[in-house]
């Protein structure tokens, strides 16, 4: 069974640009979450989608958005990039949405904003 796949693996952008990251969950998983990982802050929750609906959103500005498609694949978009957006963005999928099941993480997209 394939794991969680995130593309691209690395991205370099400049301030003001926008970026789209992609995540394909494990087959059969309908919940997809996104986290931002930075050395100082650890993992910060961005948002979670379940069956194409955003169920939870973390404390991030509106420049961060996401969506989920009918096949459960998800994308997140960051507009008007800032230097502080440089981070590892992790996607995680889960069978259900009640927090009792473990998350399966992808290897992440390393975003560098110059």
> Are 89 and 105 spatial neighbours (Cβ–Cβ below 8 Å)?
no
Of 12-20, 52-60, 67-75, 77-85, the window that binds another protein (rule: CB under 8 A) is 52-60
The answer to the question of residue 43 lying near another protein (CB under 8 A) is yes
Task: Enumerate residues 3-32 that contact another protein by CB under 8 A.
Answer: 4, 31
Instruction: Work out the burial of residue 93: count CB atoms within 10 Å of its CB; fewer than 13 is exposed, 13-18 middle, 19 or more buried.
Output: buried
Which of residues 21, 66, 72, 106 is near another protein by CB under 8 A? 106
Q: Retrieve residue 15's tokens.
A: 């301030």
> Are 114 and 10 spatial neighbours (Cβ–Cβ below 8 Å)?
no
The answer to the question of residue 42 lying near another protein (CB under 8 A) is yes
The answer to the question of residue 99 lying near another protein (CB under 8 A) is yes
Query: Could you give the C-alpha distances from 103 to 2, 15, 17, 51, in angstroms and in order?
Result: 15, 32, 31, 16
The answer to the question of residue 60 lying near another protein (CB under 8 A) is no
Which residues of the shown chain bind another protein in the complex (CB under 8 A)?
4, 31, 33, 35, 41-43, 45, 48, 50, 55-56, 58, 90, 92, 94, 97-100, 102-103, 105-108
């Amino acid at each position: 069974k394939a794991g969680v796949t995130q593309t691209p693996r690395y991205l370099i952008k400049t301030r003001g640009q926008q970026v789209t990251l992609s995540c394909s969950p494990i087959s059969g998983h309908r919940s997809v979450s996104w986290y931002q990982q930075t050395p100082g802050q650890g993992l910060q929750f961005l948002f979670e989608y379940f069956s194409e609906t955003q169920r939870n959103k973390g404390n991030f500005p509106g420049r961060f958005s996401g969506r989920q498609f009918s096949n459960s694949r998800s994308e997140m978009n960051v507009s008007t990039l800032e230097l502080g957006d440089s981070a590892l963005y992790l996607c995680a999928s889960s069978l259900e949405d009640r927090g009792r099941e473990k998350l399966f993480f992808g290897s992440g997209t390393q975003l560098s904003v110059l």
